[in-house]
Amino acid sequence: MIHLDPNWVDAAANVFSAVGTVGAFATGMVLLSREHRREAVRAEEERRSQAVKVSAWIEVARTPQGGRELHFHVHNASEMPIFEVSLPMPVPDDDADAEDGDDEVEFIGLVPPGQTIQRPAPREWLKTYFSPEPVQIEFLDSSGHHWTRDEQGLLARPGAERMGRG
């Protein structure tokens, strides 16, 4: 019969208990970290929920006289208005007064929920127009977050990383 020293039994029990405690702590930290990431994703999706429903494009329309005219279209498919809506427009290269990086801006202001606002586009754009295409837009959502959507449809908050199409 094997006789174990009680001190060794106590030591083994303490080691087993310590390993279990460290394992439980590590598991708790991993689960907490995962939940924190999930909550961050959920919060970002909530922040984006209105912005993903806003789009802008340029499209030709027929005039009453039978001619063609380009219009900017801004559509707000959300349930709340968007504010300070503007459409940055690149300045043509042949504009001698323009400095590099300067843009003209078509300011629209407010777009009510569920509506599409139209504004005339510069006439010279008609020369290069081929088909409806997205245009850059900047706006504030109803929570006051500033958003931009570029010509490729990518949605971003200035100062934050790009968030993909939405």
The pLDDT tens digits for 97-147 are: 545 555 688 899 999 999 999 998 888 888 888 888 899 999 999 999 999
- Exposure of 125 by Cβ count < 10 A (0-12 exposed, 13-18 middle, 19+ buried)? middle
The structure's pTM equals 0.69
Top mean pLDDT of 4-8, 9-13, 99-103, 139-143 is at 139-143
Handedness of CA 161, 73, 86, 151 (dihedral sign): positive
User: With pLDDT > 70 as the criterion, what percentage of the chain qualifies?
Assistant: 85
Q: What is the pLDDT of residue 74?
A: 96
Position 48 pLDDT exceeds 60: yes
Q: What is the pLDDT of residue 102?
A: 59
CA distance 48 to 145: 9
DSSP letter string, 23-69: HHHHHHHHHHHHHHHHHHHHHHHHHHHHHTTEEEEEEEEE-TTS-EE
User: Given pLDDT bands bounded at 50, 70 and 90, which one contains residue 94?
Assistant: low
Give the three-class secondary structure for 162.
coil
Q: What is the pLDDT of residue 86?
A: 93
Q: What is the pLDDT of residue 98?
A: 47
User: Given pLDDT bands bounded at 50, 70 and 90, which one contains residue 57?
Assistant: very high
